Amino acid sequence: MALPTELHLNPDEFAFYFDTRRGIEAKELGLFLQRVATVARREGAELQIIGIREGSLQVVIKTLKAMKGEFAANPIKTTAASVALTGAAVAAISHAMSPSTGNVTPLAKAGAEIVERHHVKRIEIITKDSRITVMDELTARDIKNSAKDDHRARRHYSDDIGNLRKIVQHGAVTGYVTDIDGELHFRPDGFRFLIPINQDNSKVSKIYPGLRYSVHSDLITRNGQPDSLVIHHAFPI
């Protein structure tokens, strides 16, 4: 395995190493680094590119402490703080690029696209004391397959919401009432989700968990997701 040239990184620096002989399109590299910065910012770190090395592409990044309410970030004052903040940022980035997190992140998608479209064998994160492979050809395929599965799941879920909305508009819906932490939820028959019951605006005085009901109701959605159910009539069945 070809090694990158010696980087001589400081404790508040890390680098991305892209194992490729063809280079990467500037627009795609920029999008990838933008998403890297978003993940790091959640850990309180601002990132500053301080060097690009030739050979296989290497992008050297300095970690700065994000300051709320200010445009510029500050250098980290102690070595221990440098190690801690840089480590937190690198760990968050590595986690966000993993297909095993159960959620294909925008960063993971951007990394997988770089590997697939630019014949990159792997992407590594290099720190002063370690190097971690965060994306390779196998991982990129897993990300791509997970993204397809996630897209299908969202499409089916959206179809379910549309079908439930039609049923609610045209008549009664049957299902079970469930108590979750003191809040009543309704699980419609044939659907795989629970909807919180808006008890403040519902016109029925008593609904009991553990029972199956036929209800006439209004389905309230927010951003395409079921937000609450306002029940006008409920009949135990």
Tens digits of residue pLDDT in 48-61: 999 988 767 899 99
In this prediction, residue 147 carries a pLDDT of 59
Q: What is the pTM of this model?
A: 0.59
Report yes or no on 6 lying in a domain.
no
41 belongs to a structural domain: yes
Cα gap 218→230, rounded to integer Å: 5
pLDDT tens figures, 118-163: 889 999 999 988 889 999 998 888 887 775 555 554 555 556 677 7
Q: Which residues, in sequence order, are CB contacts of 17 under 8 Å at separation 6+?
A: 4, 56, 57, 58, 123, 124, 125, 126, 131
Model confidence at 202, pLDDT cuts 50, 70, 90, reads confident
Same structural domain, 134 and 174: no
Percent of the chain with pLDDT over 70: 82
> Would you say 74 and 145 are in contact if contact means Cβ atoms under 8 Å apart?
no
Same domain, 123 and 182: no
Summarize the confidence of residues 60-86 as an average pLDDT: 73
Could you tell me if 139 and 201 lie in one domain?
A: no
| Under 8 Å between Cβ of 79 and 11 | yes
Q: Look at residue 71 and tell me whether its pLDDT is greater than 50.
A: no
- Of 127, 148, 169, the domain-final residue: 148
Q: For the chain, what is the mean pLDDT?
A: 82
Which domain, by its residues, includes 77?
A: 13-148
Burial string for 56-83 (b: 16+ CB within 10 Å, else e) reads bbbbbbbbbbbeeeeeebeebeeeeebb
| Judgement on whether residues 30 and 141 belong to the same structural domain of the protein | yes
Per the structure, how many domains does the chain have? 2
Edge to edge, the sheet with strand 173-180 lists 195-196, 183-188, 173-180, 212-222, 225-236
46 and 74 together in one domain? yes
